[in-house]
């Protein structure tokens, strides 16, 4: 299996993390892949990252701003949400994507981790703010201690949107993330996410973006925009 790692998160020896790739194979059960094959992929990933498959918590992602505090979830019963947060050791959290931004969070002082799924709708709903609020309200974190790594996602180079989305973004005050080229509209989701993180008082030096476009790099990543019917790659984080 092939992974890539965050330079920001790699500095902390008490967490394990990875972003998977297309070479790690599909990890989603909802994309008409053979369920047994997906189970095998999860077993391989668990072996590679040294965790029990059944301890993994992933999400039924719905493009919401719902943040779920993980207590005693089961592998076969994923919570319906778009962010997971916990301070439980040996409880891997996973976000799955195929163009949306996979975000991994770590509070190095309170020892809290989170995994977040942020596409256009999540960015427009400011799920980032909800996640940081959960760190602060549920775990007494301070934003200055939170480190964030954002994996590969569709870039402004490829994310063309219609006039309705363009107008919605303008209505939300997100003009700074819009680009017009050849009378077409393009959206920079990661620019929104970075602005939201900074607005929540996360330090700029604690924020990292891989800045690789999934739509441009379909040999490495799954891309719904480029391929339509496709698998999902993931971000995983574990508090050891």
Query: Residue 133 domain-assigned?
Result: yes
So what's the pLDDT on residue 1?
A: 77
Query: Residue 175 domain-assigned?
Result: no
Query: Residue 182 domain-assigned?
Result: no
So what's the pLDDT on residue 179?
A: 96
Domain housing 131: 3-154+203-239
Write out the chain's pLDDT in tens, 240 residues. 789 999 999 999 999 999 999 998 999 999 988 999 999 999 999 999 999 999 999 999 999 999 999 998 888 889 999 999 999 999 999 999 999 999 999 999 999 999 999 999 999 999 999 999 999 999 999 999 999 999 999 999 999 999 999 999 999 999 999 999 999 999 999 999 999 999 999 999 999 999 999 999 999 999 999 998 999 999 999 999
Query: Residue 197 domain-assigned?
Result: no
Among candidate residues 74, 55, 185, 191, the one with its CA nearest the CA of residue 123 = 191
So what's the pLDDT on residue 2?
A: 85
Query: Residue 185 domain-assigned?
Result: no
**CATH assignment at residue 48:** 3.60.140.10
Query: Residue 29 domain-assigned?
Result: yes
Domain count, the chain: 1
For the sheet containing 160-161, what is the strand order? 160-161, 184-187, 178-181
Residues 6+ apart with CB under 8 A from 138: 69, 85
């Amino acid at each position: 299996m092939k992974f890539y790692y965050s330079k920001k998160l790699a500095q902390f020896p008490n967490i394990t993390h990875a972003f998977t790739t297309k070479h790690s194979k599909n990890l989603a059960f909802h994309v008409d892949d053979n369920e047994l094959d997906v189970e095998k992929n999860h077993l391989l990933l668990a072996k590679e990252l040294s965790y029990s498959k059944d301890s993994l918590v992933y999400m039924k992602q719905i493009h919401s701003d719902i943040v779920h505090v993980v207590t005693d979830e089961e592998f076969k019963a994923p919570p319906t949400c778009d962010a997971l947060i916990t301070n439980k050791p040996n409880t891997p959290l996973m976000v799955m994507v195929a163009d949306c931004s996979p975000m991994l969070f770590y509070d190095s002082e309170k020892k809290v981790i989170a995994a977040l799924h942020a596409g256009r709708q999540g960015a427009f709903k400011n799920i980032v703010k909800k996640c940081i609020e959960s760190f602060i309200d549920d775990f007494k974190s301070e934003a200055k201690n939170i480190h964030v790594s954002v994996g590969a996602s569709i870039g402004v180079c490829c994310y063309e949107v219609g006039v309705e989305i363009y107008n919605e973004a303008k209505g939300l005050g997100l003009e700074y993330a819009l680009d017009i080229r050849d009378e077409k509209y393009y959206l920079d989701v990661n620019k929104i996410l970075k602005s939201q993180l900074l607005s929540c008082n996360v330090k700029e030096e604690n924020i990292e973006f891989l800045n690789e476009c999934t739509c441009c790099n379909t040999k490495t990543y799954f891309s719904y925009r480029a391929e339509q019917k496709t698998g999902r790659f993931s971000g995983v984080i574990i508090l050891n």
